[in-house]
Chains A and B, each alone.
Chain A
């Protein structure tokens, strides 16, 4: 019921439709690139060397995930703050939580729409692309590259944990949509810049642990099994490559993301109070 209500609240948004269309177009472009690899007629007609220009490998799918992740961030920005702030700003939680709805059911009901739409732009189209490539390539390509499918799925979940959970926590913390959206933007941009300065100042990769974007990227690189030097987590603004520096181990990124998710869930749990007391 809550999920249906949340969907009703956002479905009329032109911005939402624009983002979903952009995600669909992006998927289509990648699907066409895969298709061109196997359509020799088209390759000859266009005089393209597609396989050399855009090789279909882990990096191809990582690039796809990266683009979809940016769109997913905008979706979160659009979807998550309003669904919580409307209820919190108007003290509606007392109504929801006085009915037989637990906090967990409430939070899940509210986040279900965001989770569904994020899935629809990240791992679902990713796996469809993977399926298309595996189907066209044949000869056991899918089995040999199963880690890509796993990476697409887990990488998407990690991204959701890095953006959707903080968005929900910030929305319940700030209570107003404007403040929550602003805080979310700050969350997205500011830590990355701080991480870059720490990395550059101390010539270390450990500053990346302060940046959710860098954390997600480290995790993705590990999941996609990409270890070439140029693929190391690049410092923000990319002015000082880290080829010479050993990157942050993936398990540190996983651990930090897990801790971050736990903190967000704790905040969410604490802030979803039916009645907020006021000290006179």
Chain B
């Protein structure tokens, strides 16, 4: 230890600080952390799952001598997008990613490092959410894109014209799902000590959405995502017919739910206390 040679230059030359640069550094750090191999390995696997299943099914069909195009129809993809991508990959992926953003730091007992940074806590929280959104869009938007390309590859039909529009539609709906689910899970992660049980209840609520009366169906995210779904998904034999809603209104509702949940999450995050007792 050198206590004199490398003395700190308290009053001499002092490098310049820039608050905006500090916030950008925070954003970049959180984005990298969300995609760090330890944390994101399972997420990457989850995001690639739809494409992998499509390729697997296509190859098995070819191996049997069948034409994959007949199996991997637009209707098949529409259902796969709903059941696997929206309700499973995006839902569980966002749950994992966004709950970890705050609760993961509390369980790892590292949140105090953020609290000692010269950036306002609301900005830190906002940065965390934005970094999570960036990671979610990259993973699940990318996963949707890859799954769509995988199906086109298996059908030997390069996307053209309207197909590109449909592809864009699927990626857009996946992005809105990331916003809606991500914001809700960010709020849960910041506000609840055991967020997984409420998350499980939320999963149940989203799953039974079709059974709910129309006015209650509106109190969900999947209802608006279904309204924007670019393909056609079969109606449930029993349950209520979902009330009609325009594309614009569905997008506005999703943006609104996302913004409100994120805002509440950031507020809750800013009021967190560093008291790690009880966190595991």
**Which residues of A pack against B, CB within 8 Å?**
15, 77, 82, 85-86, 89, 176-179, 181-183, 185-186, 189-190, 193-194, 196-198, 200-202, 237, 239
User: How many angstroms from the CA of A15 to the CA of B193 in the assembled complex?
Assistant: 14
User: How many angstroms from the CA of A202 to the CA of B57 in the assembled complex?
Assistant: 7
**Cross-chain contact of B84 among A77, A178, A197 (Cβ < 8 A):** A197
Does any Cβ of A come within 8 Å of B163's Cβ? no
User: How many angstroms from the CA of A208 to the CA of B250 in the assembled complex?
Assistant: 36
A196 touches B92 (CB 8 A): no
B11 to chain A, nearest CB (A): 37
**Cross-chain contact of B280 among A77, A177, A198, A202 (Cβ < 8 A):** A177
- Shortest Cβ distance from A188 into B: residue: B200
**Cross-chain contact of A176 among B72, B80, B87, B280 (Cβ < 8 A):** B280
- Shortest Cβ distance from B91 into A: residue: A189
**Cross-chain contact of A178 among B60, B80, B196 (Cβ < 8 A):** B196
User: How many angstroms from the CA of A89 to the CA of B279 in the assembled complex?
Assistant: 11
How many pairs of residues, A versus B, come closer than 8 Å at their CB atoms?
73
A190 touches B99 (CB 8 A): no
**7 new A-B pairs (CB below 8 Å) besides A189-B88, A239-B234?**
A77-B196, A176-B108, A177-B107, A194-B49, A201-B71, A201-B72, A202-B61
Note all chain A residues with C-beta closer than 8 A to B42: 183, 186
Question: Which B58-85 residues have a C-beta within 8 angstroms of A?
Answer: 60-61, 71-72, 76, 79-80, 83-84
User: How many angstroms from the CA of A85 to the CA of B196 in the assembled complex?
Assistant: 16
A168 to chain B, nearest CB (A): 16
Does any Cβ of A come within 8 Å of B261's Cβ? no
A193 touches B88 (CB 8 A): yes
**Cross-chain contact of A202 among B46, B60, B79, B108 (Cβ < 8 A):** B60
**Contact A197 B99, CB 8 Å, known A185-B196, A186-B92:** no
User: How many angstroms from the CA of A82 to the CA of B196 in the assembled complex?
Assistant: 13
Note all chain A residues with C-beta closer than 8 A to B53: 194, 197-198, 201
**Contact A182 B57, CB 8 Å, known A89-B280, A197-B80:** no
B196 touches A15 (CB 8 A): no
Note all chain B residues with C-beta closer than 8 A to A89: 107, 280
Interface-central residue, A176, A185, A197, by most chain B CB under 10 Å: A197
Note all chain B residues with C-beta closer than 8 A to A239: 234
Per CB-CB distance, the 8 closest pairs between chain A and chain B, nearest first, are A201-B57, A177-B280, A181-B196, A193-B88, A178-B107, A176-B107, A182-B96, A85-B280
- Some 12 contacts from A to B, beta carbons below 8 A apart, are A77-B196, A82-B280, A176-B280, A178-B107, A179-B100, A185-B200, A186-B46, A189-B88, A190-B46, A193-B88, A194-B53, A198-B56
**Contact A198 B197, CB 8 Å, known A176-B107, A177-B107:** no
- Shortest Cβ distance from B87 into A: residue: A193
Does any Cβ of A come within 8 Å of B253's Cβ? no
A182 touches B95 (CB 8 A): yes
**What per-residue 1/0 map shows which CB atoms of B232-261 lie under 8 Å from chain A?**
001000000000000000000000000000
Does any Cβ of A come within 8 Å of B203's Cβ? yes
User: How many angstroms from the CA of A237 to the CA of B87 in the assembled complex?
Assistant: 12
Note all chain A residues with C-beta closer than 8 A to B197: 15
Note all chain A residues with C-beta closer than 8 A to B196: 77, 178, 181-182, 185
**Contact A201 B99, CB 8 Å, known A181-B196, A183-B42:** no
A82 to chain B, nearest CB (A): 6
Does any Cβ of A come within 8 Å of B148's Cβ? no
Note all chain A residues with C-beta closer than 8 A to B72: 201
- Shortest Cβ distance from A78 into B: residue: B197
Interface-central residue, B56, B76, B280, by most chain A CB under 10 Å: B280
B187 to chain A, nearest CB (A): 16
- Shortest Cβ distance from B189 into A: residue: A178
User: How many angstroms from the CA of A178 to the CA of B61 in the assembled complex?
Assistant: 39
Note all chain B residues with C-beta closer than 8 A to A178: 99-100, 103-104, 107, 195-196, 280
A205 to chain B, nearest CB (A): 14
Note all chain A residues with C-beta closer than 8 A to B49: 194
User: How many angstroms from the CA of A277 to the CA of B118 in the assembled complex?
Assistant: 35
A53 to chain B, nearest CB (A): 21
- Shortest Cβ distance from B60 into A: residue: A202
Note all chain B residues with C-beta closer than 8 A to A182: 92, 95-96, 99, 196
A190 touches B88 (CB 8 A): yes
Note all chain A residues with C-beta closer than 8 A to B96: 182, 186
B273 to chain A, nearest CB (A): 18
B95 to chain A, nearest CB (A): 7
